[in-house]
Amino acid sequence: MTREKGEVLQGTLDMLVLRALQLEPMHGWGITERIEQWSESVLQLGQGTLYPALYRLERQGLIGSEWRVTENNRRARYYSLTTKGRRHLNEELVQWRRMSRAINLVLEATLDGGRA
Amino acid sequence: MMRRVREGWRRLRSLRRRKELEIGLDEEIRFHIDSQTEKNLRAGMAPDEARRQALIKFGGVEPAKERARDQFRWAFVEDFLRDLRYGGRALRRAPGFTTVATLTLALGIGATTAMFSVVNGVLLRPLPYPEQDRLIELVHEAPGLGIARLLASPAVYFGYRDHSQTFEAVGLWDWDSSPVTVTGSGEPEAVRSLEVTHEVLTILGADPLVGRGFREADDLPGSVPTAIISYGYWQRHFGGADPLGETLVVDGIPRQVIGVLPQWFRFFDYPAEIFYPRQPVRSGAVFPSGDGRGIARLKEGVTLGEANADIARMIPILSEEFPGGNVKEWRLAPKLRWLKDTVVGDLRDTLWLLMGTIGLLLLIACANVANLVLVRTETRRPELAIRAALGAGWGGIARVVFAESAVLGLAGGFAGLSVAYVSLPLLLSLGAADLPHVMTVRIDPTVMLVTLGISVLVTLMFALIPVFHVALPKLQLAGVLRGAGRSGTEGRESHRARHLLVVFQVALALVLLSGSGLMMRTFQTLRQVDPGFRDPGNIQTFQLTIPTAAVPASERAGVPVPDRTVRMQHEILDRLAAVAAVESAGFSSSNDGLPLDGDGKSRSIFVEGRTRADGPAALKEVQFVSPHFFETLRTPLMAGRTFAWNDVDPARPVVLVSENLARAEWGSAGAALGKRIGPRETGPWSEVVGVVKDVHHNGLSQPAPETVIFPARPDDTASFVIRSERVGTSSFLEDLRRAVWSVNPNLSLASVQTLGDLYQRSMARTSMTLQLLAITGAMALLLGLIGIYGVVSYSVSQRRREIGIRLALGAAPGEVRRMFVRHALALVGIGVAIGLAAAVGLTRLMESQLFGVSPLDPLTHLAVALALLAAAGLASYLSAHGASALDPVEVLKGV
């Protein structure tokens, strides 16, 4: 598979999926759409990775799932965050913010140093 | 830990829900693509293009599915299989260790499996009759007469049939007249037969394959004589052709064949081929008395206790209905037994004992393998330490060690199953004379399941020891690594564990050897019991039935038919005695008159001049014999004379008594002569004319019964005994047959065997137990010695440097060797001491198998202990040989 411009960083997929589910339960397709929309179409989920990720997260007990009927009267599996998933997401977010701030600091510091 | 359990549980659940998930996944992906397609449509694409783009965007449905599936796979199984593969590879690199360990396990598991299949087949599985858990044998006890087991009678049959509230059906059967002679078509044939009331076959669920079963009408005296034949006899005699309406002349009576029994049916262990109605007679029936065997099917849900209570209620009723007996004096009480218990008898104790011994053997084998695995783990310490250093947790290391053991256990289990398949026929041939043939012994799914369970259990036992062993001193791994390859520093725990195992093995081996020792003593004592006859191997025996109807009508005139029977038996005896090389010949009336045939008759016998006030007359064994019977057996005559023909025909009121009876009644053999005894207080009296030495009737381990011997009486069947040097040759049997046929060509020999066969059979139980215990004991000894040898030789290999230094400093090789032997013997000594204590406790369990020797017999235990010490000493001496043969220069150079 060729590397797409918007491929999600390794390890961040889980966090993105959990984040997408933070507001309301959604089906797989909805999650794709939500992430695409929020990221202004920069992030496009490789579908080959979304469903395995969903099954993995469910196995780990971070999300739950149930079959519901959509507005268009179709059966679809809706995923929702469990309490544990919610806690996990919060931890991940804190971690991520610290990391990304640190990385930004490093990147900017390097640029400054380059000018000097 | 908890987290891991939860994870495992979730995976297990997902395994169960896998199908469901698979379907869900399909639907979910379809929904996704459909939604994308719709979006594309809304964006203005043509339908085909919209779908194509959706699929492209999704990027391969199958790979996505495959990767999703991976998430709900049972990864643990795969991990375990990988560990097993690794374990298998590691074992292949150590073929010596693998072979020894697998063989040891195979031996232990195989022996256990074979023995368990016998226990399962005989003790655990039900009798092969429908709803067998409701079948009982009608037995009473009469302690007033000293009878522990009083069989049924016509009175019991009629009484319980009419009055019981707990029995669904009652039947009466016997084999009194077996074998019957079938004549008519072709050669006369002696066939084993059974007389049954019409309920018996129904109670056993033997619905005829062809024709009908017996009905009540068949049981009425005077009805048309009928017979039902076994499947085997149908095939043999009629070649499977329609037998209904055919007639068999059975003991001179033409009987119509009305049915054929199904192929599966066996009447317990009795290979009866012709069944015919017993037709018991109500009038004149006496209660209590013993004549025939009773069988009954209990109503649904009735317990043995309730049935016993029902019988206790009926005893007074029967006593009134069938007068003539004396319930009070006999102290008659019900003692019903499950049919299964009747069939198994006291074999239960023997089989569980043997199962227990083999279980001990398995433990020894297990200890041996544990020891081997310990040593191996020890030598792998450097490798394991490297693994630990490279980041494997102790859990990971334990898994490596465990996986290897699991492979060993698995291999041992499979090899054990093969061992069981091979050894089961041998086992069955050892027990052939003693195991009930009605129960089938085979390796069935239950046995296999138990084998699997045993293998797993055994694996856990020998695998966990080294695993804990690795776990406990994990902190020392670093130290090991530093010293790896240089010296054999090993943990104290390892020493201790291996020494404990050896002590354990020796103790168990001692217990098993003590058991075999005691059985050996029992066997010896039994061989020394004087059976009351000499050289039984030279005595040919057979049964001959002269159907009353076989006596030609022309000869009946003027002579009562029964007397003709005795006269014909006399004639046959004369012809038999004239056969070349026959020393002497005699017979005993009826089919149960031989010593040690496990059957017989007993009667109340009164001594003239003693009254009922002296206590109820005790039952004595009774026998009816021809002249020369005791001479043929070579039973010594203690006083007086034996019978002559003029005592028999016509019968005179004379009897012989056994020596023990004479002593009990009159003080000595000589004092018995001229005294008179009889069947009732009032006579008629018979004069004691001779006293013969005691003859064992019920097995050598049972005391010889006090016996009264009457002159031969008219009886269709007689058991002949013929003494000759030619016994055992087929030409001799031919000569005997011709002699019989020269008197009447319609007769046929049955139960042809030597008295030696009967003698051997009476010791079958003891010799089976002895042989099995001896084999088990020998294997235990072997395994124990291997264990000792292994410990010593490993110890030598670990202490090479020390030995080298000692030798270099001038220690004599013998001294070094003695050091190891001393050490080994100290261990063995502890094992022997523990084993002796255990043996004292455990051999008590085999008391019922012993004869003439106490389970605590000090001589046996001491001899076994000394023998074990000596053997262990030898094993360690040989093993320590390696130590003294070391070249100190080589050893020290190699440091």
B748-762 pLDDT, tens per residue? 888 888 999 889 888
Closest-CA distance, B66 to chain A, in angstroms, reads 8
Q: Is the pLDDT of residue A46 over 90?
A: no
- Confidence tier at A115 by pLDDT (50, 70, 90): very low
Q: Which neighbouring-strand residues pair with B141?
A: B333
Q: What is the pTM of this model?
A: 0.73
- Provide, rounded to the nearest whole percent, the portion of chain A with pLDDT above 90: 2
B318: part of which helix (H) or strand (E)? helix B304-321
Interchain pair A47, B59: CB under 8 A: yes
Nearest-by-Cβ selection for B64 from A29, A48, A56 = A48
Closest-CA distance, B64 to chain A, in angstroms, reads 4
Q: Is the pLDDT of residue B331 over 70?
A: yes
Which among A47, A72, A75 is the top mutation candidate for probing chain B, defined by the most B β-carbons within 10 Å of its own β-carbon?
A47
Query: Pick from B815, B811, B889, B829: which is nearest to B865 by CA?
Result: B829
Check residue B76 and give its pLDDT: 54
Task: Pull the structure tokens for residue B150.
Answer: 């009083």
Check residue B633 and give its pLDDT: 94
Highest mean pLDDT among A73-82, B478-487, B498-507, B573-582: B573-582
Nearest-by-Cβ selection for A75 from B27, B58, B67 = B27
Closest-CA distance, A41 to chain B, in angstroms, reads 13
Interchain pair B60, A48: CB under 8 A: yes
Residues of A in contact with B10 (CB under 8 A): 59, 61
Mapping DSSP to helix (H, G, I), strand (E, B) and coil, where does residue A94 land? helix
Closest-CA distance, B69 to chain A, in angstroms, reads 7
Q: Is the pLDDT of residue A1 over 70?
A: no
Interchain pair A75, B70: CB under 8 A: no
In A, minimum Cα distance to B37 occurs at A29
Mean local confidence (pLDDT), B187-196: 85
Residues of B in contact with A76 (CB under 8 A): 28, 31
Rounded Cα distance between B704 and B694, Å, is: 6
Check residue B373 and give its pLDDT: 85
Higher per-residue confidence, B574 vs B432: B574
Interchain pair A55, B24: CB under 8 A: no
- Confidence tier at B148 by pLDDT (50, 70, 90): confident
Mean local confidence (pLDDT), B351-377: 89
Q: Is the pLDDT of residue B394 over 70?
A: no
Interchain pair A59, B14: CB under 8 A: yes
With an 8 Å Cβ cutoff, is B11 touching chain A? yes
Mean local confidence (pLDDT), B530-550: 85
Check residue A3 and give its pLDDT: 39
Among the residue ranges A38-52, A61-75, B588-602, the one predicted with the least confidence is: A38-52
- For all residues of chain B together, what is the average pLDDT? 84
Check residue B488 and give its pLDDT: 43
In A, minimum Cα distance to B22 occurs at A55
Residue B283: C-alpha distances to residues B294, B323, B383, B776 (Å): 19, 10, 91, 58
Closest-CA distance, A110 to chain B, in angstroms, reads 36
Residues of A in contact with B72 (CB under 8 A): 55, 59
Residues of B in contact with A51 (CB under 8 A): 25, 28-29, 64-65, 67-68
Check residue B298 and give its pLDDT: 93
Higher per-residue confidence, B473 vs B626: B626
B376-389 pLDDT, tens per residue? 877 777 777 777 66
Residues of A in contact with B58 (CB under 8 A): 47-48
Dihedral (CA of B820, B821, B824, B827) sign: negative
Nearest-by-Cβ selection for B31 from A49, A56, A74 = A74
Which among B58, B62, B65, B70 is the top mutation candidate for probing chain A, defined by the most A β-carbons within 10 Å of its own β-carbon?
B58
- Confidence tier at B136 by pLDDT (50, 70, 90): very high
Annotate B648-717 with DSSP letters as a single string: HTTT-SEEEEEHHHHHHHHSSHHHHTT-EEESSTT---EEEEEEE-----S-TTSPPPPEEEEEP---SE
- Confidence tier at B630 by pLDDT (50, 70, 90): very high
Interchain pair B28, A52: CB under 8 A: no
- Confidence tier at B880 by pLDDT (50, 70, 90): confident
Predicted complex ipTM: 0.81
Task: List phi, psi (to 5°) of B717.
Answer: -105, 140
Do B690 and B641 touch, CB atoms closer than 8 A?
Answer: yes
Higher per-residue confidence, B805 vs B885: B805
Residues of B in contact with A46 (CB under 8 A): 59
Buried b (16+ CB within 10 A) or exposed e, B628-641: bbbbbbbbebbbbe
Closest-CA distance, A103 to chain B, in angstroms, reads 30
Check residue B554 and give its pLDDT: 54
Mean local confidence (pLDDT), B167-174: 92
Query: Pick from B107, B152, B26, B9: which is nearest to B781 by CA?
Result: B107
Q: Is the pLDDT of residue B486 over 50?
A: no
Nearest-by-Cβ selection for B68 from A46, A52, A76 = A52
Mean local confidence (pLDDT), B105-132: 91
Residues of B in contact with A52 (CB under 8 A): 64, 67-68, 70-71
Q: Looking at this protein, which amino acid is placed at residue B758?
A: L
Rounded Cα distance between A10 and A3, Å, is: 13
Closest-CA distance, B67 to chain A, in angstroms, reads 6
Annotate B620-646 with DSSP letters as a single string: EEEEEE-TTHHHHHTPPEEEE----HH
B104: part of which helix (H) or strand (E)? helix B95-119
Check residue A7 and give its pLDDT: 53
- Confidence tier at B149 by pLDDT (50, 70, 90): confident
Closest-CA distance, A60 to chain B, in angstroms, reads 8
Residues of B in contact with A47 (CB under 8 A): 32, 57-59, 64
Domain boundaries, chain B: 2-73, 77-129+346-490, 140-335, 491-524+761-895, 547-746
Annotate B767-818 with DSSP letters as a single string: HHHHHHHHHHHHHHHHHHHHHHHHHHHHHHHHTHHHHHHHHHTT--HHHHHH
Mean local confidence (pLDDT), B73-98: 75
Give me the residues of B, 51-90, that contact A with CB < 8 A: 57-60, 63-65, 67-68, 70-72
Nearest-by-Cβ selection for A56 from B21, B65, B71 = B71
Check residue B650 and give its pLDDT: 80
Rounded Cα distance between B477 and B481, Å, is: 6
With an 8 Å Cβ cutoff, is B24 touching chain A? yes
Higher per-residue confidence, B506 vs B558: B506
Mean local confidence (pLDDT), B608-636: 82
Residues of B in contact with A41 (CB under 8 A): none
Check residue B487 and give its pLDDT: 42
Higher per-residue confidence, B889 vs B772: B772
Interface A:B, Cβ pairs < 8 A: 63
Check residue B48 and give its pLDDT: 86
Check residue B307 and give its pLDDT: 92
Annotate B16-37 with DSSP letters as a single string: HTHHHHHHHHHHHHHHHHHHHH
Q: Is the pLDDT of residue B318 over 70?
A: yes
B194-218 pLDDT, tens per residue? 999 999 999 999 999 988 999 989 9
Residues of A in contact with B60 (CB under 8 A): 48
For residue B121, what is the DSSP state? I
B239-294 pLDDT, tens per residue? 888 888 888 888 778 889 999 999 989 888 888 899 999 888 888 788 877 778 89
With an 8 Å Cβ cutoff, is B185 touching chain A? no
Rounded Cα distance between B811 and B792, Å, is: 19
In A, minimum Cα distance to B54 occurs at A47
B811-835 pLDDT, tens per residue? 887 888 888 888 889 999 999 999 9
- Provide, rounded to the nearest whole percent, the portion of chain B with pLDDT above 70: 87
Domains of chain A by range and CATH?
13-115 (1.10.10.10)
Closest-CA distance, B12 to chain A, in angstroms, reads 11
Do B657 and B672 touch, CB atoms closer than 8 A?
Answer: yes
Q: Is the pLDDT of residue B162 over 70?
A: yes
Which among B13, B35, B58, B61 is the top mutation candidate for probing chain A, defined by the most A β-carbons within 10 Å of its own β-carbon?
B35
Rounded Cα distance between B381 and B478, Å, is: 10
